A and B are shown apart, each in its own frame.
Chain A
C-alpha cells in the first residue's frame, strides 16, 4: 500500500490540475490543502453539515465524502470559482443585504446549495427554500435571513422576467 503518488488529472474552477495525491485524501482536503482553495470548509467529515459542498460535474456534492482520486477527469467548482465567474453575484448580494450569514463558515456551502435549488426550482416558496437548504447546517442565523435572501433573488428574478 502506498500513501502517495496516485496520478490525478481534473479541472478545478476551469483550470486544469495535474498532480499526485494519496488515495485517502478527501476531495475537501485536496482542495484546501493542495490547491489552497480554503473557501471549501470542513465541518464534520461525515456528510452531515454541508460546509464542504462543492460542485462535481455541475451537481452539488459533499467534498468530504469523495476521495480526490475519484474526481479524475471531473470538473470541480468551488465557491472561489463561481464567485469569480460572477455566477453567484445575485445570491451573494442578497445574502449581504439580508445579513444571511454571521460567522460565514457555512456560507460557501449554503450558497452552492441555494444556487442548486434555484437551478431545479427557480421560484421556490419559503418551505421549499427551507427544504432545499436543509442539508446545510448554519449555527448562527436561525436560517430566517437565509430564506429571506434566497426568496428575494426569486422575486427579483420574477420581476425582471415580468418586465
Chain B
C-alpha cells in the first residue's frame, strides 16, 4: 500500500476534522483569567477622555482649554490642531467604487463637528476620573448649523451640504441591471411590492473599544494593545497616518470582548490615543465607556428599500426591481468605506433564485449622524428580508405555500456552477436540500396544523422562513483592488519544539469564535499529534505572519488552508529529519499518534520528540551537510472565485400578542451549509450568536435620533439588546457542500445566523398577523409598529 503524496488532511487517521472539540483557550476565560485590552496597565500610563460635540452640526468657534489644563492630575489638553500635526487625516473611499467620494476625516473634529458625539478635544490625566473632571472645565464655543438627518432629502438641492467641497451629499451611487426588467414587470402575471425600513443599530460589543498606546521614542516604536479584529490593517494605518515605519508598529490583541465587525474600522479616538502617546512619550489608555460607545462605535444598517417582485401565475420568479437608499452618517468610514453594505444589498437581492431580470439601484448619502459601516453579515439581512418578504407576499397572493414557492425557484442543487443575474458565480450550493432538511426539522405540516388550531382559539402564531446566500472569504477583489492595504491572504508559521510539541502562530485571530481551536484541530490532524500538543499564538503583529485576520467569515476558509499547508510542510520536514536519522527515505515514513512510523505497516520507528532532540541537540549524528528545517511558514490566498458562497435557510416560530403588539419568539431553526464543518459545536454557536443579533435587528435594536440629530437612546438601559428571556432556543443543522477550490473545503460560518434571521422573523410576524389584515415591513418590529399595522391605534 502506498500513500498518495497529495492525500488530503481530511483522510488522515485520527482526524480532528468534524469533531466538536471544546476550545482549550476557553478555560482561561472561564477562570476570569482573560487578558483583554481593558486589563492592560503599563508603568507611567495616563488616561484620555474626550470632549464630544453636543450638536449634530456646528462650527467650532473657539476652544478655551486653560481651566482644564490647570485641573488636578491633568497631563495635557489637546485640540484637533495639536493632533493633526502628527496624524494625517484619512478619506474613506475605494478606487473600484467608481465615483465614490468622501471628505478628509481628522482624528478630532476639525473646525466643524458633523455628528453629535464626534470627539473634539482630548484631555489626558492621571486617571480617567480626573480627565473627566477636567472635561467639565473646557469652554468650547459652537455655532450651530442646520443638521441633515433624513436620507430621503439628503440630495435635495436646498438641503445643506455636510462637506461643501464634495458638491453634494452623495457618497456613492450604483446600479446593477440584467435582462429586461421593464418587460418582465409588464408581462408578469403578478407583481408584489413593498417599502422596507431598516433602523440604524449598532454592535454593542460587551467590552467597549479600547487601546493602550505605548510609544517608545528611543526606538521610534509604537506598541498598541488594541481591541481590534484586524491587527495588521491597524499596523498599516497607524504607520502611514502617524508617520512611523511599518515595522516599528506592533499591534497586540490577546483576548477581545466581542467584535462583530465593529472593531475593524478606523475611529478617531484610537488614532488620537496613539498620537498622544507619541506626543507625551508615555503609555496612554483610552477605554470607551458605554455612553461613548453609542455615539462613536460605527452604526449599522439604516436602509430604505423599495422593491418589487414579478412572477408568473404558476409561481415562477421573473425578476426583482430594487431601490436602496442608505444614510451612512457624516463620513464614509476608513478604510473599508460605508458603501460596501449597500453594494452587497444591490447584488444579493434574489440571490437564491433563478430570476433572469434584475435591476437594483443604490444611493449612499451623508447625514449628520454617527458614521455607519460594516457590521456582521454586511448587507445580507437587508437583502434577504427584501427578497423573502416579497416571496411570502407573492405566495399569499398566489395561494401557494411559501416553502413551495421557494423550492420552485431555487437554483437547483445540480445546476452549479451557476451565474446569477446580478453577476455572482456560485461554485456549489444546497438550497433545495437545505429547505427539505429544514421542513423536516421543524415538522412543517405539524407546525402548520398547530398554528391553525391555536388560531381558532385566538392565539396568533406565525411561521416564517428565509433563505440566504452568503458571501464569505473574499479575495483581493474585495478591498485590495480598491487600493486598501487590507490583506486577503493569511499566513501560518509552525515550529517543532525539542519536546516534540508544536508552536503555531497564525494571522487569523481569536474573537471567541474558536480560531485557535480549529487551527489546532487542522494542524494536529495533519501532523498526527494530539491537539493538546499544539500551542497557538494569535493577535500579535510582532509574532505572527502577516495576514488579513478575522472578518467576513474568512478565518477558517483562508486561515485553515494556510494551516494545513504549514502543517504539511512541517510534517515533511520532520519526516526528512527522521529519514536522515533512520537512514530511510522520508517517503517510507509517516506521522501518527506522535510517532514517526513506517508508512507501510504503521510500526513505530522513533517518536517525534526524538526527532526534536536529534535535530536541535545532536545534529552531529545526522548525515554531513544535512540541515534540519523544523520551522516553516505558509501563506494562503483565496483562489478560483472572488468569494466563496455559503447558503442556508432559517425558520422562525412566533406568537404575536395582537392586543399589545408584543412578539414572543417560540423557536428558531437554522440549516446552514458552510462547506466543510470543522467543529460542529463551534459552527452551531456562530449560528446561534448570529441569530441573536438578527433578532435584535428584527425586534429590538434601533439607534433613535431626533430630527435635529440627537441620539436619544444612547445608553444600555434605553437601547434594547435582546437578553436570555427574550431569545428562544435555536436549533442548528448542517449540510456540507465543501468548496473544491480549497483542500479542506470550509467556506466560513460567522455571519450565516445574522444573514436571514431578521427576514424569517418578519415573515413569521406577518404570517401571524395576516388573518387580522396586518402587515409590517419596518424593523425593528416594535409593539407600536405592530399595533399600527393592525390598526389598533
Is A145 a contact of B30 with CB atoms below 8 Å? no
A43 at the interface (CB under 8 A from B): yes
CB distance from B512 to the nearest CB of A (A): 3
Chain A's closest residue to B692 (CB) is A142
Is A130 a contact of B725 with CB atoms below 8 Å? yes
Is B255 a contact of A104 with CB atoms below 8 Å? yes
Q: Mark A87-108, 1 if CB is under 8 A from B, else 0.
A: 0000010011111011111111
Chain A's closest residue to B73 (CB) is A3
Is B290 a contact of A44 with CB atoms below 8 Å? yes
CB distance from B706 to the nearest CB of A (A): 21
Contacts of A147 in B (CB 8 A): 724, 729
Is B41 a contact of A139 with CB atoms below 8 Å? no
Q: Mark A6-41, 1 if CB is under 8 A from B, else 0.
A: 000000000000000010110000001100111111
Q: Contact check: which of A39, A98, A140 meets B34 at CB < 8 Å?
A: A39
Contacts of A98 in B (CB 8 A): 681
B residues 511-565 in Cβ contact with A at 8 Å: 511-514
A126 at the interface (CB under 8 A from B): yes
State the main secondary structure of chain A at its contact with B.
Answer: loop
The stretch of B19-27, B354-362, B733-741 in contact with A is B19-27
A67 at the interface (CB under 8 A from B): no
Contacts of A41 in B (CB 8 A): 36, 38, 206-207, 257
B688 at the interface (CB under 8 A from A): yes
Contacts of A39 in B (CB 8 A): 31-34
A74 at the interface (CB under 8 A from B): no
Q: Contact check: which of A46, A138, A142 meets B206 at CB < 8 Å?
A: A138
A108 to B72, CA, bound (A): 35
Is A42 a contact of B691 with CB atoms below 8 Å? no
Is A105 a contact of B725 with CB atoms below 8 Å? no
Q: Mark A133-153, 1 if CB is under 8 A from B, else 0.
A: 111111111111111000000
Is B23 a contact of A130 with CB atoms below 8 Å? no
Is A51 a contact of B206 with CB atoms below 8 Å? yes
Is A126 a contact of B729 with CB atoms below 8 Å? yes
A137 to B720, CA, bound (A): 11
A49 at the interface (CB under 8 A from B): yes
Is B30 a contact of A141 with CB atoms below 8 Å? no
B600 at the interface (CB under 8 A from A): no
Is A83 a contact of B36 with CB atoms below 8 Å? no
Is B727 a contact of A104 with CB atoms below 8 Å? no
Q: Mark B686-700, 1 if CB is under 8 A from A, else 0.
A: 001111110000000
B256 at the interface (CB under 8 A from A): yes
Contacts of A139 in B (CB 8 A): 203-206, 258, 260, 689, 692-693, 721
Chain A's closest residue to B34 (CB) is A104
Is B725 a contact of A134 with CB atoms below 8 Å? yes
Is A140 a contact of B725 with CB atoms below 8 Å? no
B residues 2-52 in Cβ contact with A at 8 Å: 22-23, 26-36, 38-39, 41
Is A32 a contact of B206 with CB atoms below 8 Å? no
Contacts of B33 in A (CB 8 A): 39, 80
Contacts of B255 in A (CB 8 A): 103-104
Is A46 a contact of B725 with CB atoms below 8 Å? no
Q: Mark A67-85, 1 if CB is under 8 A from B, else 0.
A: 0000000000011100100
Given A96-B30, A103-B255, A143-B692, A43 and B207 touching (CB < 8 A)?
Answer: yes
Is B258 a contact of A40 with CB atoms below 8 Å? no
CB distance from B130 to the nearest CB of A (A): 8
A143 to B695, CA, bound (A): 13
B245 at the interface (CB under 8 A from A): no
Is B30 a contact of A111 with CB atoms below 8 Å? yes
Contacts of B28 in A (CB 8 A): 104
A145 to B233, CA, bound (A): 33
Q: Give how many A residues have a beta carbon under 8 Å from the other chain's beta carbons.
A: 58
Chain B's closest residue to A140 (CB) is B689
A116 at the interface (CB under 8 A from B): no
Q: Mark A108-134, 1 if CB is under 8 A from B, else 0.
A: 100100000000000000100111011
CB distance from A11 to the nearest CB of B (A): 18
Contacts of B22 in A (CB 8 A): 96-97, 99
B residues 710-731 in Cβ contact with A at 8 Å: 715-717, 721, 723-725, 727, 729-730
Is A104 a contact of B685 with CB atoms below 8 Å? no
Is A108 a contact of B257 with CB atoms below 8 Å? no
Contacts of B725 in A (CB 8 A): 130-131, 134
B289 at the interface (CB under 8 A from A): yes
A106 to B205, CA, bound (A): 10
CB distance from A100 to the nearest CB of B (A): 9
CB distance from A138 to the nearest CB of B (A): 7
B129 at the interface (CB under 8 A from A): yes
CB distance from B779 to the nearest CB of A (A): 18
Is B724 a contact of A99 with CB atoms below 8 Å? no
Is A102 a contact of B206 with CB atoms below 8 Å? no
Q: Which B residues lie at the A interface, using CB under 8 A?
A: 22-23, 26-36, 38-39, 41, 72, 129-130, 203-208, 255-260, 289-290, 511-514, 681-682, 685, 688-693, 715-717, 721, 723-725, 727, 729-730, 753
Q: Which A residues lie at the B interface, using CB under 8 A?
A: 3, 22, 24-25, 32-33, 36-46, 48-49, 51, 78-80, 83, 92, 95-99, 101-108, 111, 126, 129-131, 133-147
Please name 26 pairs of A and B residues whose Cβ atoms are closer than 8 Å in the assembled complex, sorted by A.
Answer: A3-B130, A22-B129, A43-B206, A49-B206, A80-B31, A99-B26, A101-B30, A103-B206, A103-B207, A130-B724, A131-B725, A134-B725, A136-B723, A139-B204, A139-B260, A140-B206, A140-B258, A140-B689, A142-B685, A142-B689, A142-B691, A143-B692, A143-B723, A145-B685, A146-B724, A147-B724
Those 6 A-B pairs whose CB atoms lie nearest each other, nearest first: A39-B32, A104-B29, A102-B512, A105-B257, A79-B32, A142-B692
A-B contacts besides A38-B39, A92-B31, A136-B724, 12 pairs, CB < 8 Å: A38-B35, A42-B38, A43-B257, A49-B716, A99-B514, A111-B30, A131-B725, A140-B512, A141-B689, A141-B692, A142-B727, A147-B724
